[in-house]
Protein backbone atom coordinates (compact mmCIF):
# COMPACT_ATOMS: atom_id res chain seq x y z
CA UNK A 1 0.00 0.00 0.00
CA UNK A 2 2.73 2.40 0.95
CA UNK A 3 4.70 1.69 -2.19
CA UNK A 4 1.59 2.21 -4.33
CA UNK A 5 0.98 5.60 -2.68
CA UNK A 6 4.61 6.53 -3.18
CA UNK A 7 4.62 5.59 -6.83
CA UNK A 8 1.43 7.61 -7.28
CA UNK A 9 3.07 10.64 -5.69
CA UNK A 10 6.14 10.12 -7.82
CA UNK A 11 3.99 9.85 -10.91
CA UNK A 12 2.27 13.10 -10.04
CA UNK A 13 5.60 14.80 -9.47
CA UNK A 14 7.06 13.45 -12.66
CA UNK A 15 4.08 14.06 -14.89
CA UNK A 16 4.37 17.83 -15.42
CA UNK A 17 8.03 17.70 -16.45
CA UNK A 18 7.45 14.64 -18.60
CA UNK A 19 4.60 16.45 -20.32
CA UNK A 20 6.71 19.54 -20.75
CA UNK A 21 9.36 17.53 -22.50
CA UNK A 22 6.65 16.24 -24.84
CA UNK A 23 5.12 19.58 -25.65
CA UNK A 24 6.70 22.83 -24.46
CA UNK A 25 4.89 26.00 -23.44
CA UNK A 26 3.51 27.46 -26.62
CA UNK A 27 4.00 31.14 -27.41
CA UNK A 28 1.07 33.41 -28.25
CA UNK A 29 2.13 33.22 -31.90
CA UNK A 30 1.84 29.44 -31.89
CA UNK A 31 -1.32 29.31 -29.75
CA UNK A 32 -3.11 31.37 -32.38
CA UNK A 33 -3.07 28.28 -34.62
CA UNK A 34 -3.99 25.66 -32.04
CA UNK A 35 -7.40 24.13 -32.61
CA UNK A 36 -7.23 21.14 -30.26
CA UNK A 37 -5.16 20.78 -27.11
CA UNK A 38 -6.15 18.71 -24.09
CA UNK A 39 -4.64 16.17 -21.68
CA UNK A 40 -6.61 13.53 -23.59
CA UNK A 41 -7.94 13.73 -27.14
CA UNK A 42 -10.08 11.02 -28.71
CA UNK A 43 -10.51 10.93 -32.47
CA UNK A 44 -13.63 8.82 -33.03
CA UNK A 45 -14.94 6.96 -36.08
CA UNK A 46 -11.99 7.83 -38.33
CA UNK A 47 -10.64 5.89 -41.28
CA UNK A 48 -6.95 5.15 -40.73
CA UNK A 49 -4.21 4.85 -43.34
CA UNK A 50 -1.44 3.97 -40.94
CA UNK A 51 1.69 4.66 -43.02
CA UNK A 52 2.84 1.03 -43.33
CA UNK A 53 1.44 0.66 -46.84
CA UNK A 54 -1.40 -1.64 -45.80
CA UNK A 55 -5.06 -1.02 -46.69
CA UNK A 56 -7.17 1.63 -44.95
CA UNK A 57 -8.99 0.52 -41.80
CA UNK A 58 -12.51 1.88 -41.39
CA UNK A 59 -14.12 3.25 -38.22
CA UNK A 60 -11.35 3.51 -35.63
CA UNK A 61 -10.81 5.56 -32.47
CA UNK A 62 -7.37 7.03 -31.83
CA UNK A 63 -6.52 8.15 -28.30
CA UNK A 64 -3.88 10.85 -27.83
CA UNK A 65 -2.32 11.45 -24.43
CA UNK A 66 0.78 13.44 -23.44
CA UNK A 67 1.76 13.91 -27.06
CA UNK A 68 1.67 10.18 -27.85
CA UNK A 69 -0.73 7.75 -29.45
CA UNK A 70 -2.07 6.02 -26.35
CA UNK A 71 -4.59 3.72 -27.98
CA UNK A 72 -6.19 2.60 -31.24
CA UNK A 73 -9.58 0.93 -30.89
CA UNK A 74 -12.65 -0.04 -32.84
CA UNK A 75 -14.83 3.00 -33.50
CA UNK A 76 -17.21 3.90 -30.66
CA UNK A 77 -18.95 6.98 -29.31
CA UNK A 78 -17.08 8.60 -26.43
CA UNK A 79 -18.35 11.28 -24.06
CA UNK A 80 -16.23 14.38 -23.66
CA UNK A 81 -15.12 15.32 -20.14
CA UNK A 82 -13.29 18.28 -18.64
CA UNK A 83 -9.98 16.56 -19.44
CA UNK A 84 -10.88 14.76 -22.65
CA UNK A 85 -11.74 16.38 -25.96
CA UNK A 86 -13.60 14.21 -28.44
CA UNK A 87 -13.64 14.79 -32.21
CA UNK A 88 -16.21 13.01 -34.33
CA UNK A 89 -14.36 12.11 -37.53
CA UNK A 90 -17.06 10.36 -39.55
CA UNK A 91 -16.08 10.95 -43.18
CA UNK A 92 -12.47 11.78 -42.32
CA UNK A 93 -9.21 9.92 -42.77
CA UNK A 94 -6.21 10.08 -40.42
CA UNK A 95 -2.72 9.51 -41.81
CA UNK A 96 0.70 9.94 -40.15
CA UNK A 97 2.36 13.36 -40.32
CA UNK A 98 4.31 13.69 -43.56
CA UNK A 99 8.10 13.37 -43.45
CA UNK A 100 9.28 15.68 -46.23
CA UNK A 101 12.70 14.69 -47.48
CA UNK A 102 13.41 17.41 -50.06
CA UNK A 103 11.84 20.42 -48.39
CA UNK A 104 13.68 23.72 -48.63
CA UNK A 105 13.31 26.85 -46.53
CA UNK A 106 14.12 29.10 -49.47
CA UNK A 107 12.83 30.08 -52.88
CA UNK A 108 14.81 30.74 -56.06
CA UNK A 109 14.30 34.25 -57.42
CA UNK A 110 15.02 34.80 -61.11
CA UNK A 111 15.81 38.49 -61.61
CA UNK A 112 13.84 40.16 -64.43
CA UNK A 113 12.23 36.93 -65.60
CA UNK A 114 10.29 37.50 -68.85
CA UNK A 115 7.81 35.68 -71.07
CA UNK A 116 10.65 34.05 -73.04
CA UNK A 117 11.78 32.43 -69.77
CA UNK A 118 14.91 34.59 -69.82
CA UNK A 119 16.27 35.98 -66.56
CA UNK A 120 19.36 37.88 -65.47
CA UNK A 121 22.26 36.66 -63.41
CA UNK A 122 22.98 36.21 -60.65
CA UNK A 123 20.12 33.97 -59.62
CA UNK A 124 19.54 34.57 -55.91
CA UNK A 125 17.99 32.48 -53.20
CA UNK A 126 15.93 34.39 -50.59
CA UNK A 127 15.06 32.67 -47.30
CA UNK A 128 11.40 31.87 -46.61
CA UNK A 129 11.86 31.54 -42.86
CA UNK A 130 8.41 32.94 -42.09
CA UNK A 131 6.17 31.44 -44.75
CA UNK A 132 7.69 28.02 -45.51
CA UNK A 133 7.34 26.43 -42.03
CA UNK A 134 3.69 27.52 -41.85
CA UNK A 135 2.91 26.16 -45.33
CA UNK A 136 4.57 22.85 -44.45
CA UNK A 137 2.69 22.41 -41.21
CA UNK A 138 -0.61 23.48 -42.82
CA UNK A 139 -0.21 20.72 -45.44
CA UNK A 140 0.49 18.00 -42.87
CA UNK A 141 4.30 17.98 -42.86
CA UNK A 142 5.38 17.37 -39.25
CA UNK A 143 9.03 16.49 -39.96
CA UNK A 144 11.24 17.74 -42.78
CA UNK A 145 14.79 17.81 -44.04
CA UNK A 146 15.99 21.16 -45.42
CA UNK A 147 18.05 19.31 -48.08
CA UNK A 148 20.64 22.07 -48.53
CA UNK A 149 20.66 25.41 -46.75
CA UNK A 150 21.61 28.91 -47.84
CA UNK A 151 21.17 30.61 -44.45
CA UNK A 152 22.29 27.81 -42.19
CA UNK A 153 22.24 29.86 -39.00
CA UNK A 154 18.67 30.96 -39.75
CA UNK A 155 17.64 27.33 -40.27
CA UNK A 156 19.36 26.18 -37.05
CA UNK A 157 17.81 28.96 -34.99
CA UNK A 158 14.40 28.39 -36.59
CA UNK A 159 14.56 24.72 -35.64
CA UNK A 160 15.44 25.67 -32.05
CA UNK A 161 12.54 28.15 -31.82
CA UNK A 162 10.02 25.71 -33.31
CA UNK A 163 11.12 22.97 -30.88
CA UNK A 164 10.87 25.47 -28.01
CA UNK A 165 7.25 26.28 -28.95
CA UNK A 166 8.04 29.87 -29.96
CA UNK A 167 7.24 29.53 -33.67
CA UNK A 168 4.87 27.30 -35.66
CA UNK A 169 6.36 24.70 -37.98
CA UNK A 170 7.48 21.09 -38.37
CA UNK A 171 10.41 19.31 -36.75
CA UNK A 172 13.48 20.03 -38.85
CA UNK A 173 16.53 18.03 -39.87
CA UNK A 174 18.81 20.95 -40.76
CA UNK A 175 21.05 20.20 -43.73
CA UNK A 176 24.30 22.16 -43.91
CA UNK A 177 25.35 24.48 -46.73
CA UNK A 178 25.44 22.76 -50.13
CA UNK A 179 28.67 20.83 -50.60
CA UNK A 180 29.58 22.23 -54.00
CA UNK A 181 32.61 22.23 -56.26
CA UNK A 182 34.44 25.18 -57.72
CA UNK A 183 32.34 25.54 -60.91
CA UNK A 184 29.10 26.55 -59.25
CA UNK A 185 26.38 28.75 -60.69
CA UNK A 186 25.03 29.67 -57.24
CA UNK A 187 26.72 32.51 -55.37
CA UNK A 188 25.27 31.44 -52.02
CA UNK A 189 27.00 28.04 -51.89
CA UNK A 190 30.51 27.23 -50.74
CA UNK A 191 32.77 26.47 -53.73
CA UNK A 192 35.29 23.87 -52.64
CA UNK A 193 38.90 24.05 -53.71
CA UNK A 194 40.02 20.71 -52.21
CA UNK A 195 38.90 17.59 -50.31
CA UNK A 196 40.33 19.21 -47.16
CA UNK A 197 38.00 22.16 -47.74
CA UNK A 198 35.05 19.72 -47.91
CA UNK A 199 36.10 17.99 -44.70
CA UNK A 200 36.49 21.28 -42.82
CA UNK A 201 33.06 22.49 -43.96
CA UNK A 202 31.38 19.30 -42.72
CA UNK A 203 33.20 19.44 -39.39
CA UNK A 204 32.44 23.14 -38.86
CA UNK A 205 28.71 22.81 -39.44
CA UNK A 206 28.31 19.48 -37.65
CA UNK A 207 29.75 21.17 -34.56
CA UNK A 208 27.13 23.91 -34.89
CA UNK A 209 24.18 21.53 -34.90
CA UNK A 210 23.62 20.60 -38.52
CA UNK A 211 22.26 17.03 -38.72
CA UNK A 212 22.67 16.18 -42.42
CA UNK A 213 24.53 17.23 -45.57
CA UNK A 214 23.85 17.51 -49.28
CA UNK A 215 26.41 17.40 -52.06
CA UNK A 216 25.74 19.39 -55.22
CA UNK A 217 26.26 19.24 -58.96
CA UNK A 218 29.93 20.18 -59.37
CA UNK A 219 31.57 18.42 -56.44
CA UNK A 220 34.50 16.11 -57.35
CA UNK A 221 34.72 12.47 -56.29
CA UNK A 222 37.60 13.24 -53.91
CA UNK A 223 35.68 16.12 -52.27
CA UNK A 224 32.55 13.98 -51.98
CA UNK A 225 34.54 11.14 -50.42
CA UNK A 226 36.11 13.50 -47.86
CA UNK A 227 32.69 14.94 -46.98
CA UNK A 228 31.03 11.52 -46.64
CA UNK A 229 33.83 10.20 -44.42
CA UNK A 230 33.71 13.29 -42.17
CA UNK A 231 29.90 13.11 -41.86
CA UNK A 232 29.83 9.35 -41.23
CA UNK A 233 32.44 9.73 -38.48
CA UNK A 234 29.80 11.77 -36.66
CA UNK A 235 26.90 9.47 -37.52
CA UNK A 236 25.43 11.98 -40.00
CA UNK A 237 24.09 11.16 -43.46
CA UNK A 238 24.90 12.70 -46.84
CA UNK A 239 22.57 13.04 -49.79
CA UNK A 240 23.30 14.55 -53.19
CA UNK A 241 21.89 16.27 -56.22
CA UNK A 242 24.80 15.18 -58.37
CA UNK A 243 26.04 15.60 -61.92
CA UNK A 244 29.87 15.58 -61.85
CA UNK A 245 29.67 12.29 -59.93
CA UNK A 246 27.44 9.50 -61.31
CA UNK A 247 24.97 7.56 -59.16
CA UNK A 248 27.14 4.43 -59.25
CA UNK A 249 30.29 6.35 -58.33
CA UNK A 250 28.48 8.03 -55.43
CA UNK A 251 27.08 4.70 -54.20
CA UNK A 252 30.58 3.25 -54.18
CA UNK A 253 31.87 6.30 -52.26
CA UNK A 254 29.26 5.59 -49.56
CA UNK A 255 26.58 8.24 -50.14
CA UNK A 256 23.33 7.59 -48.23
CA UNK A 257 20.70 9.09 -50.54
CA UNK A 258 20.34 10.52 -54.06
CA UNK A 259 17.91 13.33 -54.89
CA UNK A 260 15.57 13.74 -57.87
CA UNK A 261 14.71 10.13 -58.59
CA UNK A 262 16.65 9.05 -61.70
CA UNK A 263 16.60 12.45 -63.42
CA UNK A 264 20.19 13.52 -62.59
CA UNK A 265 22.29 10.39 -63.06
CA UNK A 266 24.96 11.09 -65.69
CA UNK A 267 26.55 7.67 -66.28
CA UNK A 268 25.35 7.38 -69.92
CA UNK A 269 25.72 11.05 -70.90
CA UNK A 270 27.83 11.08 -74.08
CA UNK A 271 30.05 14.00 -73.06
CA UNK A 272 30.58 12.84 -69.45
CA UNK A 273 34.12 13.32 -68.16
CA UNK A 274 35.22 12.28 -64.66
CA UNK A 275 34.47 14.92 -62.01
CA UNK A 276 32.81 17.27 -64.51
CA UNK A 277 29.09 17.90 -64.92
CA UNK A 278 27.78 17.01 -68.39
CA UNK A 279 25.74 19.21 -70.74
CA UNK A 280 22.38 17.46 -70.24
CA UNK A 281 23.02 16.97 -66.48
CA UNK A 282 21.53 13.48 -66.68
CA UNK A 283 18.75 13.93 -69.24
CA UNK A 284 20.62 11.86 -71.80
CA UNK A 285 21.18 9.01 -69.34
CA UNK A 286 17.53 8.90 -68.32
CA UNK A 287 16.37 8.92 -71.96
CA UNK A 288 18.73 6.05 -72.77
CA UNK A 289 18.04 4.01 -69.65
CA UNK A 290 15.25 1.64 -70.61
CA UNK A 291 13.31 0.65 -67.46
CA UNK A 292 13.80 -3.10 -67.10
CA UNK A 293 16.88 -3.00 -69.32
CA UNK A 294 20.33 -4.27 -68.26
CA UNK A 295 21.72 -0.83 -67.28
CA UNK A 296 18.68 -0.05 -65.14
CA UNK A 297 18.83 -3.44 -63.43
CA UNK A 298 22.54 -3.09 -62.74
CA UNK A 299 22.13 0.44 -61.36
CA UNK A 300 19.21 -0.50 -59.09
CA UNK A 301 21.11 -3.55 -57.79
CA UNK A 302 24.17 -1.36 -57.05
CA UNK A 303 22.09 1.24 -55.19
CA UNK A 304 20.30 -1.37 -53.10
CA UNK A 305 23.43 -3.34 -52.25
CA UNK A 306 25.05 -0.09 -51.02
CA UNK A 307 21.88 0.87 -49.04
CA UNK A 308 21.42 4.09 -50.99
CA UNK A 309 17.95 5.67 -50.72
CA UNK A 310 16.39 7.60 -53.60
CA UNK A 311 14.31 10.73 -53.06
CA UNK A 312 11.45 11.16 -55.49
CA UNK A 313 10.90 14.86 -56.31
CA UNK A 314 8.31 14.51 -59.06
CA UNK A 315 6.57 17.88 -58.48
CA UNK A 316 9.62 19.88 -59.56
CA UNK A 317 9.72 18.03 -62.90
CA UNK A 318 6.00 17.84 -63.57
CA UNK A 319 5.80 21.24 -65.26
CA UNK A 320 8.30 20.06 -67.87
CA UNK A 321 6.28 16.95 -68.68
CA UNK A 322 3.90 19.15 -70.69
CA UNK A 323 0.14 19.11 -71.11
CA UNK A 324 -0.56 22.18 -68.98
CA UNK A 325 0.45 20.36 -65.81
CA UNK A 326 0.07 20.62 -62.88
CA UNK A 327 -3.50 21.81 -62.31
CA UNK A 328 -3.58 25.25 -60.71
CA UNK A 329 -4.74 25.37 -57.10
CA UNK A 330 -6.25 28.63 -55.93
CA UNK A 331 -4.73 28.21 -52.46
CA UNK A 332 -1.25 28.03 -54.04
CA UNK A 333 -1.83 31.31 -55.86
CA UNK A 334 -3.21 32.88 -52.69
CA UNK A 335 -0.05 32.05 -50.74
CA UNK A 336 2.24 33.94 -53.15
CA UNK A 337 3.24 37.59 -53.43
CA UNK A 338 2.03 39.30 -56.63
CA UNK A 339 5.61 39.08 -57.98
CA UNK A 340 5.91 35.34 -57.24
CA UNK A 341 2.51 34.81 -58.88
CA UNK A 342 3.64 36.65 -62.01
CA UNK A 343 6.81 34.52 -62.18
CA UNK A 344 4.70 31.40 -61.63
CA UNK A 345 2.68 32.13 -64.77
CA UNK A 346 5.74 33.18 -66.80
CA UNK A 347 7.54 29.92 -65.97
CA UNK A 348 4.41 27.89 -66.60
CA UNK A 349 3.92 29.00 -70.17
CA UNK A 350 6.12 27.59 -72.91
CA UNK A 351 6.71 30.26 -75.56
CA UNK A 352 5.85 28.86 -79.01
CA UNK A 353 8.96 30.55 -80.42
CA UNK A 354 11.19 28.86 -77.83
CA UNK A 355 13.69 26.13 -78.72
CA UNK A 356 12.35 22.59 -78.93
CA UNK A 357 13.95 20.54 -76.12
CA UNK A 358 16.66 18.16 -77.39
CA UNK A 359 15.28 15.30 -75.32
CA UNK A 360 11.55 14.62 -75.19
CA UNK A 361 10.41 15.58 -71.66
CA UNK A 362 7.50 13.13 -71.85
CA UNK A 363 9.99 10.28 -72.37
CA UNK A 364 12.03 11.40 -69.34
CA UNK A 365 8.89 11.56 -67.23
CA UNK A 366 7.83 8.06 -68.30
CA UNK A 367 11.28 6.54 -67.69
CA UNK A 368 11.71 8.15 -64.29
CA UNK A 369 8.32 7.03 -62.98
CA UNK A 370 9.03 3.47 -64.10
CA UNK A 371 12.54 3.47 -62.59
CA UNK A 372 11.34 4.82 -59.23
CA UNK A 373 8.74 2.11 -59.13
CA UNK A 374 11.26 -0.59 -60.12
CA UNK A 375 13.68 0.64 -57.44
CA UNK A 376 11.03 0.41 -54.70
CA UNK A 377 9.73 -2.94 -55.97
CA UNK A 378 13.27 -4.35 -55.84
CA UNK A 379 13.46 -3.35 -52.15
CA UNK A 380 15.02 0.12 -52.40
CA UNK A 381 14.07 2.82 -49.89
CA UNK A 382 12.16 5.47 -51.83
CA UNK A 383 11.60 8.84 -50.11
CA UNK A 384 9.51 11.83 -51.16
CA UNK A 385 9.84 15.61 -51.21
CA UNK A 386 8.72 18.38 -53.56
CA UNK A 387 11.92 20.46 -54.03
CA UNK A 388 10.02 23.73 -53.66
CA UNK A 389 12.44 26.07 -55.40
CA UNK A 390 9.89 28.28 -57.08
CA UNK A 391 10.30 26.56 -60.41
CA UNK A 392 6.88 27.65 -61.48
CA UNK A 393 4.55 25.36 -59.69
CA UNK A 394 6.03 23.93 -56.53
CA UNK A 395 5.43 25.46 -53.11
CA UNK A 396 6.18 24.13 -49.63
CA UNK A 397 3.47 21.81 -48.33
CA UNK A 398 1.29 21.92 -51.43
CA UNK A 399 4.20 20.30 -53.23
CA UNK A 400 4.44 17.54 -50.60
CA UNK A 401 0.81 16.65 -51.29
CA UNK A 402 1.34 16.78 -55.05
CA UNK A 403 4.33 14.43 -54.71
CA UNK A 404 2.08 11.78 -53.18
CA UNK A 405 -0.47 12.18 -55.98
CA UNK A 406 2.30 11.75 -58.57
CA UNK A 407 3.61 8.60 -56.86
CA UNK A 408 0.14 7.16 -57.43
CA UNK A 409 0.48 8.14 -61.10
CA UNK A 410 3.77 6.17 -61.05
CA UNK A 411 1.80 3.05 -60.15
CA UNK A 412 1.95 2.94 -56.35
CA UNK A 413 -1.31 2.38 -54.48
CA UNK A 414 -2.44 5.38 -52.41
CA UNK A 415 -1.42 3.58 -49.19
CA UNK A 416 2.03 2.78 -50.63
CA UNK A 417 2.48 6.38 -51.78
CA UNK A 418 1.56 7.59 -48.28
CA UNK A 419 4.09 5.18 -46.81
CA UNK A 420 6.83 6.60 -49.05
CA UNK A 421 6.00 10.09 -47.75
CA UNK A 422 5.80 9.03 -44.07
CA UNK A 423 7.35 5.82 -42.71
CA UNK A 424 10.08 5.61 -45.37
CA UNK A 425 11.32 9.11 -44.50
CA UNK A 426 11.22 8.28 -40.78
CA UNK A 427 13.18 5.09 -41.48
CA UNK A 428 15.86 6.98 -43.39
CA UNK A 429 16.15 9.46 -40.50
CA UNK A 430 16.49 6.57 -38.03
CA UNK A 431 13.31 7.74 -36.28
CA UNK A 432 10.94 4.96 -37.34
CA UNK A 433 10.38 3.88 -33.74
CA UNK A 434 8.96 7.34 -32.85
CA UNK A 435 7.29 8.72 -35.99
CA UNK A 436 6.17 7.82 -39.51
CA UNK A 437 3.23 5.51 -38.80
CA UNK A 438 0.15 5.31 -36.61
CA UNK A 439 0.89 2.89 -33.78
CA UNK A 440 0.45 2.87 -30.01
CA UNK A 441 3.42 4.49 -28.26
CA UNK A 442 4.46 6.59 -31.24
CA UNK A 443 4.41 10.38 -31.25
CA UNK A 444 0.98 11.78 -32.12
CA UNK A 445 1.98 13.39 -35.42
CA UNK A 446 -1.23 12.93 -37.41
CA UNK A 447 -3.03 14.55 -40.31
CA UNK A 448 -6.83 14.77 -40.31
CA UNK A 449 -8.12 14.79 -43.89
CA UNK A 450 -11.69 15.24 -45.12
CA UNK A 451 -12.56 12.43 -47.52
CA UNK A 452 -10.80 9.21 -48.42
CA UNK A 453 -7.31 9.50 -49.96
CA UNK A 454 -7.09 5.68 -49.98
CA UNK A 455 -9.69 5.76 -52.78
CA UNK A 456 -9.14 9.21 -54.28
CA UNK A 457 -5.61 10.42 -53.69
CA UNK A 458 -6.42 14.08 -54.42
CA UNK A 459 -8.35 14.12 -51.13
CA UNK A 460 -4.87 14.41 -49.55
CA UNK A 461 -5.23 18.14 -50.27
CA UNK A 462 -8.22 18.46 -47.90
CA UNK A 463 -6.24 18.80 -44.67
CA UNK A 464 -8.20 20.17 -41.71
CA UNK A 465 -6.14 19.54 -38.58
CA UNK A 466 -2.47 18.64 -38.22
CA UNK A 467 -1.37 17.11 -34.93
CA UNK A 468 2.27 17.63 -34.02
CA UNK A 469 3.35 16.12 -30.69
CA UNK A 470 -0.34 15.70 -29.85
CA UNK A 471 -1.30 19.36 -30.41
CA UNK A 472 -3.83 19.92 -33.20
CA UNK A 473 -3.13 22.88 -35.50
CA UNK A 474 -5.71 24.51 -37.75
CA UNK A 475 -4.58 24.12 -41.35
CA UNK A 476 -6.69 26.96 -42.77
CA UNK A 477 -5.54 29.43 -40.13
CA UNK A 478 -1.92 28.64 -40.91
CA UNK A 479 -2.54 29.13 -44.63
CA UNK A 480 -4.39 32.37 -44.00
CA UNK A 481 -1.45 33.79 -42.03
CA UNK A 482 0.79 33.33 -45.08
CA UNK A 483 -1.56 34.75 -47.74
CA UNK A 484 0.42 36.90 -50.17
CA UNK A 485 3.73 36.34 -48.34
CA UNK A 486 5.46 33.46 -50.10
CA UNK A 487 8.24 34.85 -52.27
CA UNK A 488 8.99 37.74 -49.89
CA UNK A 489 9.85 36.24 -46.49
ZN1 LIG B 1 16.47 21.04 -54.04
pLDDT digits (tens, 9 = 90+) for 10-33: 444 444 444 444 568 999 999 999
Task: Check the CA dihedral 141-145-149-152 and report its sign.
Answer: positive
Q: What is the pLDDT of residues 56-104, one digit of tens each?
A: 999 999 999 999 999 999 999 999 999 999 999 999 999 999 999 999 9
Ligand 1 centroid from CA 391, angstroms: 10
Ligand 1 centroid from CA 215, angstroms: 11
Ligand 1 centroid from CA 16, angstroms: 41
Ligand 1 centroid from CA 317, angstroms: 12
Ligand 1 centroid from CA 185, angstroms: 14
Q: Which among 446, 473, 452 has a CA at the least distance from the CA of 51?
A: 446
Ligand 1 centroid from CA 209, angstroms: 21
What's the whole-number mean pLDDT along residues 98-117? Answer: 93
Ligand 1 centroid from CA 179, angstroms: 13
Ligand 1 centroid from CA 106, angstroms: 10
Ligand 1 centroid from CA 313, angstroms: 9
Task: Check the CA dihedral 209-28-336-456 and report its sign.
Answer: positive
As residues whose CB is below 5 A from the ion ligand 1, the structure lists 387
Ligand 1 centroid from CA 105, angstroms: 10
Please give the model's pTM, rounded to 2 decimal places.
0.94
Ligand 1 centroid from CA 260, angstroms: 8
Q: What is the pLDDT of residues 29-56, one digit of tens each?
A: 999 999 999 999 999 999 999 999 999 9
Ligand 1 centroid from CA 327, angstroms: 22
Q: Which among 28, 38, 20, 335 has a CA at the least distance from the CA of 167?
A: 28
Ligand 1 centroid from CA 57, angstroms: 35
- Rounded CA separation 363/375 (Å): 18
Task: Check the CA dihedral 313-318-320-321 and report its sign.
Answer: positive
Whether the per-residue pLDDT at 446 is higher than 80: the answer is: yes
Amino acid sequence: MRSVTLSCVLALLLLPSAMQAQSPELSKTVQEFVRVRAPKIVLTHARIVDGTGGPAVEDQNVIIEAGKIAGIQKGADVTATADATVLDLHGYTVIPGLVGMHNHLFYIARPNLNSQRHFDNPVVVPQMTFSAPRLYLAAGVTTMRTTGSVETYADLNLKRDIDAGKLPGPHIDVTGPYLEGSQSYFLQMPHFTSPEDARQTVDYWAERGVTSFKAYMNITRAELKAAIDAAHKRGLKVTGHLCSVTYKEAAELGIDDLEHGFFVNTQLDSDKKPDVCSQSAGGETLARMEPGGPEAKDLIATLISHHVAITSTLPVFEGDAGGGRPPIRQQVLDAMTPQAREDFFLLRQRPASGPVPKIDPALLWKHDLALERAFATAGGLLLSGPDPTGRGDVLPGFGDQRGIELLVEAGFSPSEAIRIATLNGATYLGREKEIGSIAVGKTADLVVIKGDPSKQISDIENVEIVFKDGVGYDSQKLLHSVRGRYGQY
